[in-house]
Amino acid sequence: MSNAPSLVWFRQDLRLEDNPALTAAVKRGGPVIPVHIHAPQEYDPWAPGAASDFWLHQSLNALSASLERKRSRLIVRQGSSLETLRALLLETGAEAVYWNRRYEPAVRIRDEAIKSALRADGLFVESFNGALLFEPWDVLTKQGCPYQVFTPFWRACLAATEPPDPLPAPAKLAAPDSWPASESIDALGLEPAFNWAGGIRTAWTPGEAGAAKRLEVFLENAIAGYTGDRDRPAIQGTSRLSPHLHFGELSPRQIRHAMKHALAPGATNGAEKFLAELGWREFSHHLLYHFPQVIDEPLRAAFSSFPWAKDLHALKAWQRGQTGYPIVDAGMRELWTTGWMHNRVRMVVASFLTKDLLIPWQEGARWFWDTLVDADLANNTQGWQWTAGCGADAAPYFRIFNPVSQGEKFDPDGAYVRQWVPELGQLPAKWIHKPWEAPSAVMKDAEITLGKTYPRPIVDHADARARALEAYETIKNSR
């Protein structure tokens, strides 16, 4: 036990429950000083995008309010993380620094340098796993190598020692005799300069309480039917927990524990399927840790010579939801409005960009990075490389999603398209995913004129598929 203060460096762990770093600081004894340092320049070239900044602003406010209820406060600073921590250590007389680990390549390098520097200064420094069920270095093949296929990876995780149950929030936090100066959260400039985020505000409740409520609603209303409903974008069949997980407002251990103890009768299969999706998140972090080059380069080296196209007009049409393929356009508009997109639709729009348009996966990854509230470097990278066929356990090169059949299968009555592409709202379900095939009388009744009220398809899918297969054929033999 110590009476000297400790710093707890909050990053992507913006919660009080199941926060190993916070628990360790409280256990050490003495005052606890929560700190958040805004240093986006240290994350280049993957500094957080606009949607992430918006979420972070709300989440920091929520964390600050939670700390105040514990008679504590969040100290906010900007600048170099190492220099800021050293300044705070000097100002407060703190002798220890605690944080929960992150796994992005640039952040890992930074954190290791900070840990070494502070320990050389004579400080006690400790980091913890607060973001994953299993550390990336703890799940390896029998040969001691990282996994590159999901199924054996997840099988190994399930066979491993179960993660511990989540930690309770501290009952109280000892305060220092005097608090160091803090900037306001508003001073970080995370809120948009103009109000483009209205749809995000309506759709989400950032913060630990919002995350807990989202999990509760999912367990009560959707987990029993998750296996079948998760692919239906028009219904609330998924958890929508991804942004809360990314910002650490909820931990995977909390999700696992809650599902284990609060499942409705008959929900077991849905629970197993959902936990496998959580496993995919673990796998994505596993890959990012062991293959850090994948944030910019394909894991499969043969794809370095893939004949990608450069088509700025097509890229803009995709970004704006103006491709002429309703399920694609609905997804891109949902993304722009809410900062989120249904996972099934993410696969469809990613396939369309990389295979119908042959535009590099990196362009899609960067657009998602700026517009998603759950923009996570591990998940984003793995998802795009999987769809493009150039990553670990990737989709076969010949799997090219047909945007019409995908719409008809997973949005059969067109409810999702009607919500996000309202100009097609009067079309019968038979035609809503392929308006160019609708009889002229039907189009007239629906007040739709292709090329005016809704765009014609920017590519013919059959032709685009043939072109993509030809392009993939050029590297098939070297895979």
**Whether 61 is catalytic:** no
Alpha-carbon span 221 to 267, nearest angstrom:
11
Pick the catalytic residue from 55, 384, 386, 420. Answer: 384
Pick the catalytic residue from 99, 340, 361, 420. Answer: 361
Pick the catalytic residue from 126, 269, 280, 297. Answer: 280
User: 418 near 329, Cβ under 8 Å?
Assistant: no
Pick the catalytic residue from 191, 277, 297, 408. Answer: 277
**Whether 280 is catalytic:** yes
Pick the catalytic residue from 269, 343, 408, 436. Answer: 343
Candidates 15, 252, 276, 21; CA nearest to 133 is 252
Alpha-carbon span 437 to 356, nearest angstrom:
19
**Whether 361 is catalytic:** yes
User: 295 near 105, Cβ under 8 Å?
Assistant: yes
DSSP 141: -
Radius of gyration of the chain (CA): 24
**Whether 343 is catalytic:** yes
DSSP 454: B
User: 245 near 256, Cβ under 8 Å?
Assistant: no
Give 76's strand partners.
36
Candidates 226, 98, 314, 182; CA nearest to 241 is 226
Q: At what angle do helices 50-69 and 361-371 cross, to 10 degrees?
A: 40
Alpha-carbon span 138 to 209, nearest angstrom:
31
Candidates 452, 375, 391; CA nearest to 12 is 375
Pick the catalytic residue from 91, 95, 308, 408. Answer: 308
CA 416 to chain centre: 22
CB count within 10 Å of CB 187 equals 11
Q: Strands of 32-38's sheet, edge to edge? A: 75-78, 32-38, 6-9, 96-100, 124-128
- Residues with catalytic function: 277, 280, 308, 343, 361, 384
